[in-house]
Amino acid sequence: MMEKRIKEARKALGWSQADLARRMFVAQPSVAAWELGRKAPHMKNMARLAMLLGVNFEWLTTGRGEMRSSTKLKAREPVPDDWILPEERRLLSTYSRLKPKQRTALLGFLESLE
């Protein structure tokens, strides 16, 4: 069951549902719904989910194959263009240029919008 694999991979990283939600740019209840099997992640999110969790796409979606890939992206490698929307790329680019206090303020503001 994919919901169990999502939860297993998330917990292996020591992440909370909120941690994964932030990294996926979704609300925490969406991650909870994925893990409870109430709904599946949108297909556009599946590749990003596998990359963030450091697991094979096939294992995540079907349970076949090895959980971990021997060839995974390193944290600083650019994300392929088809894995992220242009506006998300702009946000990440801008965020990466901010000072730590500015990042904290921005995250606080964004979380207040939820």
pTM value?
Answer: 0.61
| Confidence at residue 31, expressed as pLDDT on a 0 to 100 scale | 96
| Confidence at residue 77, expressed as pLDDT on a 0 to 100 scale | 54
Domain ranges within the chain, ordered by starting residue: 1-69, 84-114
| Confidence at residue 69, expressed as pLDDT on a 0 to 100 scale | 65
| Confidence at residue 80, expressed as pLDDT on a 0 to 100 scale | 64
pLDDT along the chain (114 residues), means of 10: 94 93 92 95 88 90 84 54 78 85 89 84
* Secondary structure letter of residue 16 according to DSSP: -
> Is CATH 3.50.50.60 the right assignment for the domain spanning 1-69?
no
CA distances from 27 to 18, 30, 58, 93, 104 (A): 8, 5, 24, 21, 18
| Confidence at residue 78, expressed as pLDDT on a 0 to 100 scale | 58
